[in-house]
Amino acid sequence: MNISPFLLAGGMAVSLLAETVYTIPQGYTEVTIAGASSAGETKLTAISATLLQDVAYSGAVTIGAYTDSQAASVAGASWTVTQWTDEPHLAYLSVAGNAAEKAFLILENTTSGGLTLAAESDLLVNFPASSTIKIRKANTLSSIFSSGASDIDGADRIYIWDNGKEGGPGWSTFRYSSIGGGNWVNVTASSLANDMVVYPDEGIFVQRAVTTDIQLKLFGEVPSVPQVASIEGTGFLSSRVPVNTELQNLGIQGSNWVAGDRVYIWNADGDVWEAHRYTDLGGGLWIDILRGALSSKQIITPNSAVFVVRESETAAGDGEITTTLPYDLTAE
């Protein structure tokens, strides 16, 4: 599917199905969190924030040594000592000749271009030593839900999948409190969570406890290159794009994936998971388990999320997937 640009009020715009993005590649998307069907019930909605924050810095980067985090450096850069850590920022590294990018949280920076990135394995396995970098502010619980904060009920719950959770992988639970001007609280850890980073490849489960909908308006940059993520075992994966895409475009298949790997898509109308199984037949196909039919072209709706379960967990760095874009922002 190509998205054709057209002129609008002196700027550029592209039609993203039911939504409009202004000034390529900047724009906005609206995300609906459905209300419960009736009082006393709850409603679950799977969402994600697929637009990217503005680029705060870009340039050439050299990837250095890996210990329990990754060193990187940008020659000639002059930063304040906490420029990228006073508020959470992500470093997007380019892979495959700048044809795709992957985000890493910046843990520290120096005043002379040094960076320490959160990484579970040596990036030099999958990245060239000389690459390019774009630094963007990270999405947090506060930023994602800011436009709908006044409508969030104290009984609503946010669930984010945590593979590093104490006791094993599972959902971490968050709630919004209006006390103190409004704060997010990590119910699982009993701590404040306003600056809880929601990575661009992470989905969010929202449990609405009242009957009214919440309309979120998310602003940012439309992804213009394929987006890379890592799933070594389980994960709740963002759709990565603000338009319809297909299951086969999520990139959840390849040389490190095996027959039996599964994807679960939340059906909000029926309040059920719809299961799809990967098979290596025909070069890699998806099967709707309930219906026994091919489902590689199953539509993944904009700003949604899917739950991924690998048949067997792989080593860190071996679970990379690349979500291809279902549009071309450069097409005329």
Q: pLDDT higher for 5 or 185? A: 185
Residue-wise pLDDT tens digits, 50-84: 999 999 999 999 999 999 999 999 999 999 999 99
* Domain termination residue (choose one: 137, 165, 182): 137
> Two tokens at 21?
């993005």
Tell me which residue range forms the domain holding 267. Answer: 1-52+141-332
Q: Residues 226, 78: one domain? A: no
- Give the per-residue pLDDT at 212: 97
Mean pLDDT of 218-243: 92
Answer whether residue 329 shows pLDDT above 80: no
Mean pLDDT of 99-120: 95
Choice among 20-29, 242-251, 296-305 with the minimum mean pLDDT: 20-29
* Domain termination residue (choose one: 102, 137, 172): 137
Whether residue 173 sits in one domain with residue 123: no
More confident residue, 163 or 305: 305
Query: Is the domain of 38 the same as that of 91?
Result: no
Instruction: Mark whether 179 and 308 lie in a shared domain.
Output: yes
Asked if the model's pLDDT at residue 12 lies above 50, the reply is: no
Q: What percent of the chain stands above pLDDT 90?
A: 68
Q: Do 222 and 26 form a contact (C-beta atoms < 8 A)?
A: yes
Residue 332: pLDDT band with limits 50, 70, 90: low
Same domain assignment for residues 174 and 70? no
Kindly state whether residues 273 and 127 are assigned to the same domain. Answer: no
| Residue 11 in this model has a pLDDT that exceeds 70 | no
Res. 6: pLDDT tops 70: no
pLDDT band at residue 25 using 50, 70 and 90 as cut-offs: confident
Residue 70 and residue 44 in one domain: no
Question: Residues 87-96: pLDDT tens digits?
Answer: 999 999 997 6
What CATH number should be reported for the domain holding residue 79? 2.40.30
**179 and 109 share one domain:** no
Q: What is the mean pLDDT of residues 86-108?
A: 90
Strand 19-22's sheet: what is its strand order? 5-8, 11-16, 19-22
Q: Is the pLDDT of residue 97 over 70?
A: no
Same domain, 180 and 311: yes
179-204: string of b/e by CB count within 10 Å (b at 16+)? eeeeebbbebeeeebeebbbbbbbbb
Over range 316-321, report the average pLDDT: 79
pLDDT higher for 101 or 6?
A: 101
- C-alpha Rg value of the chain to the nearest Å: 20
Dihedral pair phi/psi, residue 105, rounded to 5°: -70, 135
Which one of 110, 137, 164 terminates a domain? 137
pTM: 0.88
pLDDT tens digit sequence for 261-298: 899 999 999 999 999 999 878 778 999 999 999 999 99
List CB contacts of 209: < 8 A, sequence separation 6 or more. 36, 42, 153, 155, 156, 157
Give the residue with greater pLDDT, 99 vs 257: 99
Confidence check: pLDDT of 17 > 50: no
Confidence of residue 195 (pLDDT cuts 50, 70, 90): very high
- Confidence (pLDDT) at 2: 28
Number of domains in the chain: 2
Q: Is 84 in the same domain as 150?
A: no
Instruction: Tell me: do 71 and 189 sit in the same domain.
Output: no
Asked if residue 146 and residue 128 are part of one domain, the reply reads no
- Nearest CA to 116 out of 139, 84, 138 is that of 84
